[in-house]
Structure 1
Amino acid sequence: MTEVQQLEQLMNEMLPGLQLFARDINLTPEEVACYQVGAVVRNPAFTDATCRVGGMVTTHRYGILSNHMMDLSYAEHGTNWGLCIANRDSHFKVLDIYEHEGKTQILLLHLPDDYLWKWLEDLTIHLPGNLVDDCRSRFLNKAFGEPIPEVTSEDWMERCGFPIGVDMEGKLFSNEIPIAKQMRPVKEASFRSFYHELVYIRCAALIEDVMPEVAQPGDTGLVLYGYIDEEAGVSFQPLWIAKENESTLDMRLIPEETMYLIRLANLDDCEFCSMKWIEVDPYIADRARRVIAEVYDTKSKEKEETRTFQGLDQFRHREHPDDFGVAVYYEDKSKEPERLWVRISRVEGNQCFGMLLMNSKHPDGPKEGDEIMFRVLQNEKGDLEVVSVQK
């Protein structure tokens, strides 16, 4: 795919379905001067905005064009803000700054939440139709109208009281995200942070231990592709050896003829971050996905579906997410309850089915390899647990 084709594809993903959101604020002249048409700004915090656009009680309004704001209005409890949020570290391109009779709209385009924002940093974006003019007209029609009480309330204005992309000293945040601020402990992460994802893991000592023949001075970590091996659990294929800079990685491809596999337990003392902000060779990443899919990924669509049920996550084995410690109770009250490990295979309604990985302690109890049904129930203490009832 050519660069032009890639940009066309990006635009086709970013522009359809654009909505206009509002975030009202009083800005100082110095803060307004931070914004230049064509520039990109990054907001490290979540960016609150509303889909309920009415009259202004402030001097400035951010008009945010986006097709991927998170709509959290369903989670409101009587506030009626029409709350929509852009994720942490969202990037916005300044499209227009328009002032009329003491009111100013700063029009922002919400860029992709990954490294693709960089493709648009120095690019002049030609929006469909007369979108900027339309946004100006909508601003004029709304800004001087009747304010909406809920989104001009003290609580809402406090939520929106800091300028997008500007720090406490009145300077723009760097558009690059420091890797150090992205890092978090592996042992505190769910398997979902790794499953079918590219991650960077600081593991200099592991490189020396596992792959000394390709290690070099200054290596700080590995770029890994994560997957679930049905027998070995959460696993990783290393693709690149990396040297960490402030916000970028110098990456060295691991020879194709050499294949290493790393298990989650080997990384528990390490820190990691997602690779979504760092551009990699898509051919290498896609090749790894194809190899893993062919060799290690489950061939069962039913099992793959079980991994999508986040409500089960609290009961999963951390290193083996398909495995559950099931509390087994018996209709025969002479048999003591016990906890047995079960590898899930499918979900039907509110019932889960899986294969026992061990024998019951009762001679006539279920055996390793048997299929049993289990479900999530509330126990006598009021806690949720996964339970199976056997004869």
Structure 2
Amino acid sequence: MKNARLKAIYNETFSGLRLYYRDTNLSKNLILNYKVGQIIQEKGFTDMTSMGGGLSGNLRYLIASAHPKDLSKFNPDSAKTGHFLLDTIAYFKVLDIQKIGGKTQVFLLNIPDNSISLFKNSSSNLEEEIIEKARKKFSDKINSSLIPELQTEGWKERTKSPIGMNENGEMYFDDAKIKTETPKRIEINAARKTIEVDKKPWWKIWQILFF
């Protein structure tokens, strides 16, 4: 793959990257379907929140994405829940799975649909950086207070379903069909700008400089 295309893909994936949360309760068998490095597809809309508090279920999806829709711009009630939405047929790479006690965090990176093979067969220093930050965020928040606005029946109904599979554990996308190649690690030099998320510093990558 030529450098120009790699730059375009990494810019699309990481430029403006932010973290979002989606808590639910899943059985152990469903949680075990997730594997680090796996590519999954969500057929439906992905509802998530920008508000990070304590876990309101036994599973937290921490979703890193640069392209969700901010529904508060269209519905004032959505501002109360920090409601963001990803369109149907969204692809994710499972970057990390972390467990503390009876709680699990599955860290998902939202990736472009034209980059599935690339992300399946490679890793990067950027992924390693955000994994480290995600792990710290999980340990910091696991004992935090719940956010009342996210405990309503309406919000829990929106976020109860697993991502990437149906309620019987059948995956929507067969990760095994992706052509495997020799794994490679990509070093990326990126310019960063600090932004605020949950009143704590986070960062976004605004330009991939070179590989």
The two structures share one fold, judged by TM-score above 0.5: yes
Q: Over residues 190-249 of structure 1, what are the superposed CA-to-partner deviations in whole Å (9 max), with x where a residue is unaligned? A: xxxxxxxxxxxxxxxxxxxxxxxxxxxxxxxxxxxxxxxxxxxxxxxxxxxxxxxxxxxx
SS of corresponding position for 2:81: coil
Partner Cα distance (2:116, 2:48) in 1: 20
Structure of higher CA gyration radius: 1
**8 A Cα contact 1:92 1:108, kept in partner:** yes
Q: Which residue of 2 aligns with 1:102?
A: 102
Off by >6 Å, runs of 4+ in structure 1: none
**8 A Cα contact 1:91 1:175, kept in partner:** no
Q: CA deviation at 1:146?
A: 0.9
- What count of residue pairs does the alignment treat as equivalent? 174
Q: CA deviation at 1:26?
A: 0.7
Q: Kindly indicate whether residue 93 of structure 2 is the aligned counterpart of residue 93 of structure 1.
A: yes
Q: CA RMSD in A?
A: 1.9
Q: CA deviation at 1:50?
A: 0.2
Normalised to the residue count of structure 1, the TM-score between the two structures is 0.42
Name the stretch that deviates more: 77-86 or 21-30. 77-86
Q: Which residue of 2 aligns with 1:82?
A: 82
Q: CA deviation at 1:127?
A: 1.6
Partner Cα distance (1:106, 1:146) in 2: 20
Alpha carbons of structure 1 residues 127 and 63: separation in structure 2 relative to 1, 3 Å: same
Q: Which residue of 2 aligns with 1:147?
A: 146
Q: Which amino acid aligns with 2:97?
A: I
Q: Which residue of 1 aligns with 2:8?
A: 9
Percent sequence identity is: 33
Partner Cα distance (1:129, 1:34) in 2: 22
Q: CA deviation at 1:59?
A: 0.6
- Taking the TM superposition and a 5 Å limit, the aligned residue runs for 1:175-214 are none
Partner Cα distance (1:148, 1:98) in 2: 22
- Taking the TM superposition and a 5 Å limit, the aligned residue runs for 1:1-391 are 2-78=1-77, 80-112=80-112, 114-127=113-126, 130-174=129-173
SS of corresponding position for 1:106: strand
Partner Cα distance (2:134, 2:7) in 1: 23
Q: Over residues 330-364 of structure 1, what are the superposed CA-to-partner deviations in whole Å (9 max), with x where a residue is unaligned? A: xxxxxxxxxxxxxxxxxxxxxxxxxxxxxxxxxxx
Where in structure 1 are there 5+ consecutive unaligned residues? 177-391
Q: CA deviation at 1:128?
A: 5.8
**8 A Cα contact 1:44 1:88, kept in partner:** yes
Q: Which amino acid aligns with 2:58?
A: T
SS of corresponding position for 1:127: helix
**8 A Cα contact 2:38 2:93, kept in partner:** yes
Partner Cα distance (1:125, 1:44) in 2: 27
Alpha carbons of structure 1 residues 48 and 175: separation in structure 2 relative to 1, 3 Å: farther
Q: CA deviation at 1:167?
A: 1.6
SS of corresponding position for 1:108: strand
**8 A Cα contact 2:95 2:127, kept in partner:** no
Q: CA deviation at 1:169?
A: 2.4
Q: Which amino acid aligns with 2:33?
A: C
SS of corresponding position for 2:96: strand
Alpha carbons of structure 1 residues 98 and 81: separation in structure 2 relative to 1, 3 Å: same
Partner Cα distance (1:121, 1:87) in 2: 21
